[in-house]
Amino acid sequence: MTAAARAFRVVMALVAATVAVAWTAAPAAADSVRDKQWHLDALDIGKAHRITRGAGVTVALIDTGVAAEHRDLAASVRPGIDLLPRPLGDGRQDIAGHGTQMAGVIAGRGHGSGDGVLGIAPQADILPIRAPTNATTTHDYMTRAVAFAREQGADVINMSFGGSDDAILHDAIRSAQAADIVLVASSGNIGGRGGDFPGGYPEVLTVGALDRDGAIADFSVTGPQVDLTAPGVDIVTTGISGSTYYRGSGTSEACAIVSGAAALVRARFPDLSAAEVVHRLTATATDAGPRGRDDSYGYGRLDLVQALTAEVPAVATAPDQPSDAPAAAAPQQRALPERVSPLVVTGIAAAGVLVVGGVLVAVLLRRRS
C-alpha cells in the first residue's frame, strides 16, 4: 500500500471517530439549531427562498454516503449508489459523517415548525454516491460516479474533496460538463496557495471559504483555481444519526453552499445551461479584495439573492469588459495549479493537520456547539 493510501485510510478512520462529537438538540430547544446557522442570515436565505427553494433539481453528492434516516434529510435523499468494494446499500448510509454533513448544508429540510437544519436548496433532491476510501481507486470511482450522476439526471455535482491531477479524473469531469451538469468543488484546506483536483480543472466551479466577517478563512487554499467564495466557518449541519448535529469549518461546507446556490439558480432559470448558471453565480458575486477577480476571493463572495434576481447577459452575448471585471473573464479561462496531493475530504481539522508517511493531510474533525 502506498503512503498516500495509508494516510488517506488514517484520515477516514479519524473522520469516523468524530461521530461522538455531535450533539443532540433537546426537544425544547430544537429551534436553537436553526438559530446557529449564521450563514443563512449572511446569505439572506429568507428572501432567496421566497423566490425558489430548488424544487425539481437533483444534486449528486460524491462523498461518504448520506444517513438518509436523519429527520432533517428523510424527504431529501433519493436512492443512489455505493461504490465501495463492500457496499452497504444504495448510498443512503454513512459511517463517516462527511457526506451527511454536506447533504444538510445543501438540502436540509428541517422538521416540525421551523426546527432543525435548513439547507440552501431545501426542496432539491440529493443523489448520494458513496465513494471508496482508498486513494488508489479514486480516479476509477470518479469515472463511475460521474457516469451514474449523468445517467440519473443530476443537475449539479458537489465534490467536497481534493486529490491529485489525473487524466482519467479529468476525462470524467469533461464528460459531466458535456452533459450540462454544474460541477462544484472545494479549493482545499491546507492554506496558502496551491489547489487540489478536481477543483484545479477549468470545467469546475471552485469554491473557497469565508469566515463570519466575510474574510478568507485562514485554512482556505487560494490561487488561480478559485472562482467564488462562500461561508465556511462554524457551519451547523446534520449529523450522522437521526437527531444529531455538527458544527464544522472547511471549504467542504463552502462548496456545499455553492452547490445549493447552483440548485436554486437551476430551479429559477430552468432554461440556462450549466455554463450560464456558473456565469450567473460569478457575475453577481460581491467583489472583494483587489478590484475584479483575484486569487483569494475569485470573482467575489456569493450573493445568493443577486444570483436569483439580477439581469445578467448571456455568456455568448456578454459585452467585452476590462480584464479585471468579474463578469468578463469566465471561470473556465484560469490557469491550472501545479500542486498535487492525496485525496481527502475537505472539512478543516479543528486541531490542525496530520502528517502521515510524509504526506500532509487535512483531518476532518468536528467540534461541539
Q: What residues act catalytically?
A: 63, 98, 252
3-state secondary structure of 369: coil
Q: In whole angstroms, what is the distance from residue 323 CA to residue 310 CA?
A: 22
Do 309 and 275 contact (CB within 8 A), yes or no?
Answer: no
Instruction: Enter the DSSP assignment of 193.
Output: B
- Nearest-10 Cα torsion for 197, 198, 199, 205: 170
Q: In whole angstroms, what is the distance from residue 278 CA to residue 315 CA?
A: 10
C-alpha cell at 218: 485562514
Pairing of strands 359-362, 353-356: antiparallel
Angle (deg, nearest 10), helices 251-268 and 274-283? 110
Measured at the alpha carbon of residue 275, what is the angle toward residues 164 and 121, in degrees to the nearest 5?
Answer: 85
Beta bridge partners of 163: 197
C-alpha cell at 25: 438538540
How many of the other CB atoms lie within 10 Å of CB of 44? 13
Q: Is 152 exposed, middle or buried (CB count within 10 Å of its CB: 0-12, 13-18, 19+)?
A: middle
Burial 171-196, CB ≥16 within 10 A → b, else e: ebbebbbebebbbbbbbbbbbeebbb
